[in-house]
Structure 1
Amino acid sequence: MTPEELTERGQSLERIHNKLALLPDQPGCYLMKNREGTIIYVGKAKVLKNRVRSYFSGSHDGKTQRLVSEIRDFEYIVTSSNMEALILECNLIKKHHPRYNVLLKDDKTFPYIKITNERHPRLEVTRRVLKDKAKYFGPYPNGFAAQQTKKLLDRLYPLRKCSTMPDRVCLYYHIGQCLAPCEYEVTESEYEDMVQEISKFLSGGHEEIKKELRRKMEEAAEELQFERAKEFRDQLMSIQAIMEKQNINTADQLDRDVFGFAVDKGWMCVQILYVRQGKMIERHATKFPFYGDAYDDFMSFVTQYYSENPALPREILLPNPDPVETEESVDAAEPSETLMPVTDVEVSEENKAGADALQEWLKVKVHIPKRGLKKQMIGMAIENARVTLDEKFKLLERSEERTLGAAERLGAALGIGSARRIEAFDNSNIQGSDPVSAMVVFIDGKPAKKEYRKYKVRTVQGPDDYETMREVIRRRYERVLKEQLEQPDMIVVDGGKGQMSAALDVLENELGLAIPVCGLVKDNKHKTAQLMAGDPPEVVPLGRDSQEFYLLQRIQDEVHRFAITFHRERRAKSMVTSALDSIPGIGEKRRKMLLKHFGSLKKIREAAVEDFRQVGIGEKLARTILSSLRDEEEQHEAVADDEPYEEKSRE
């Protein structure tokens, strides 16, 4: 930090400590600000004095330290109750969108299935719940689940499908998925029956629907209508697949949202189990970094969740993160809960106050269960959250092993200390035509695509891979020296001793650079086989199943893909120019006019003779153009058939 920044930081800390001494011991919300006065974090507290002071005393993890390091001032708003603080925090986050709070909440709204309130109702999947007298069912954990359920309902119930009423019947009517109100009269009672059945279905009462479908399937089979029977069978299987993904049932048939959370390494995972009509049908996990007290931030997430998803269940179950075990055992669970006895727990006053505030705001029962099946459901949500976080960190470790770890071990195997930045080159041409080269960059084992470069070969005539490599290496590292760009820890060329020698000669003898050069040699199946390094080049022994070898494979595949893609782009452009320019009577003006009118060489080739009259070209010249282009296409196809073999012989 500069002296000015240190002075400004010291003044901010002095101002903050003076304000900390004046904090009240009442509930409320606090707003943390950065140097520019922007609100970067909003929180709530049962006792403002204790909560805000905790940020500036004691030790914190890295993420919270980053938040605290940006704080230059704070404000607070006193409220009369926890509930007011809860609602105020929700409104302040919506108003200011603080950067650290944005990370705390899910970045999307959840999908619902909607039965519209219209004369001719229809089904929709929507992410907006409006007060429009429509019926909403959900939320679903993802759009795919909602769309699959709607697709099934569309097959079962022939409600209107068109958003705008058409003039005549459409395909849906003919396949039995619409009553065609556009042409035929449909009574309100017909719609009412279907809406009630759909509502029952989406509320979990799909067993009756299944019985009816099974009856229809059996009747169709008895009447030898096997296609119809198969359709009913498929509908039954769809219901089974979509609506019965559950492993916990409750006898009271209430709609519940069950929450659990886990924290690790500065991250939180919140798991929501959706229980509808007493049956757990789906779950949803959200992961995010958190910066304050874990339970406070969890409650903030729940508050934000319901502010964005206003279709409420009948009951919300929350975990108790700091239970106090008692000596008593559970003598009897609720009548529907036949479980093994579990230890009873007490709910802390602070957690109970948070649940009460949420209940008062949402007007829905919010419960922290102490025993029985509901506590078991909370345990399932918590365990799923733990598993999700473990999976996240294992994937991160595996990714680091494949990237940064592999790059470090590769550097050690080559004796260069570090292989943090690797630049790789590959050349591409077909029989010497349109020669190009490409460079890709890998940093810490990951592709840095913004640093990729393409090269049109300028000085080499014919398929001379060594001279092409010399030209491209010279152009690249002359620019590195001139512009003082970062030099790579190692250079990888696609090829063996010849390509390596060409690159080393330019680097050492022309540019005076001492950058290690390695060569990747392919086998007869065009796969990475060996790594060569040193002067003279020798094979570096790497295990074929090692992460270092897999990293080299990814580098070679990526640079080859990039070079081939560039070469094909160049060849396609040159083919358009050469194909038209080689036709007598077609100059630059007519070529541009033809391409502008028809759009592409392919469309010119497919045009009829009379189509050329629109651009002022007569029948004779039109026939010459078509004949020349079609001959050119046949020759191109013959060359294209040999392309892979040319590439293999070069490499």
Structure 2
Amino acid sequence: MRLEDLPPLPETPGVYLWKTGERIVYVGKAKNLKARVTSYFHAEGKGLRICQEATQLDFIVVRDEVEALLLEANLIKHHRPHYNVLMKDDKHYPFLKLTQEEWPMLMVVRRVQDDGARYWGPFPDASAVRRIKRLVDRFFPLRKNSGFPFKKRRYPCLNHAMGRCLAPCVGQADPAQYQMTVRQVENLLDGKIEVLYESLEQQMRQAARNQDFERAAEIRDQISAVRSFFGTSQQAYDPELGDLDFLGFARAGDYALIQHYQVRGGQMLGRISRFVEGVKEASDAELLEAFLRDYYLEATPLPPLVLLPFELEAQEAFSAFLSSKGRKVEVRVPQRGEKTRLIELAQHNAQTALQTELKLMERKGDHPGLKGLMEVLGLTRRPYRIEGYDISNLLGESVVGSITVFEGGRPKKAEYRRIKIRGLKGQPDDFFSMEQTILRRFTGSLAEQMPIPDLILIDGGLGQVRAAQKALQQAGLEIPLVGLAKREETLVLPDGKTIALPLNHPALQLLIYQRDETHRNGLEFHRKLRNQKALKSIFDDIKGIGPARKLALMNHFSTLEELKAMSVEELAKLPGFDKRSAQAVLKALSNLPMETKV
């Protein structure tokens, strides 16, 4: 794109989008759109390449820098442009969520939604979230087992019998007492410990005056548990520090690492590390801004002070942006005193952590398949997290969407999932089933439990891939997709293009491994279903094929096409089969469609 091809640009704050065709390659913000955009044509390196590659420029005018910062953050998160710095984080840190209902409940979630609920997080240490949740569950009797949204039950659960729930699900909870418990939980999570102590002690004294000594003893135990938790479970620091966040930064060549520390009430709660690759052309300021934008877009509640290791041009805009989320927040670089020592500590730890990461990469080696996938598919970074999807069914019934997760080229079996497909009419429909599986994964309960992957692998051809793409569009997500056609082991892209790789290519070997794992995961679920219900299938009407022979067929073949391809002699060698039973099976299958999976 040439300078004279630019549209007329205003000298006002806004966001600009460099595009190649319909694809956004870079999103940026500016105090002065005209001055910022035209500077690209006088830049070097990445800036010059962006404007040379772009064929179009779009821009959005906003009222001030704060709006520009927020809009830029949302656009980058949604479109993930090639030239923007994207914070690669292998972990997905948890939040605590207090639902917005008549009878609120406390939940651990992985995503903040605009649903009116209160959120706390992200928490650097998942074990800390579990400790806090256990503390609340034991000593603050909010509901736990009546679902979200709230559902009435016929009988109270065991938590009510143990005194850990007020049982609103069966109409036994006093609304005033429940709301008081909600406020106490909010004070606990907000760090207003003294306010919580005062409230609990007042209740304890009132219970004692009413000679309700059992209730007074329960409240005494609550106070003791909270004091014990906040006195020993976190690392003590300096009480005078109060609430603040501080950051450390380190880089080495093409790699950088940013560490974020939380201090609440003078106590260190933990740290979050972000390791970033492919940043040789990015400035320190660009990397730090990318972290701030990524982390603070969802973080809540915020401290009054955020300390940086060096100055940023957009520092005042970040202060205003964070302050717009509630309380006033100052973002600054400390100049003297204890706060400078915090930054020195963070800088030292960031440098040490970066060197450790680099040594681990050398020791373990980076899975060659991930780098190969990045190159073959034209991705902007290595697809660390890949989710595999397959549709299979049990002899035309019990249609299941199978999900597997690979991280770093290795299976993460704890996150494997299976989804029962609903709404099928008549014959199995792989395209409908794939669309429903993807849609439910990214819009249902799994969306909060599992992080968004870097790549989605579909077991199937163009039809299945486009069904998955349609579901992602409905979910409002843009995630790279690739299909793997079984017979030719060919990669299939949503635009219809195919890529044929040698069988020994590490990228293809990795995809085949995960595809087979995804298929196996679905078959295991089918075997479980066989043990839960009677074995009813198309084989029921074949004379001489009983449960034992039917089970032998299911254990040896994954599709009817595979079974139909067998000869009578080969089939007769299965346990319990002879030539006559083999002929009966093949004759019954001769007029069946081939798509059905066993």
**Length-normalised TM-score, structure 2:** 0.49
Structure with the bigger RCO (C-alpha within 8 Å, sep 6+) is: 2
Question: Which structure has the greater CA radius of gyration?
Answer: 1
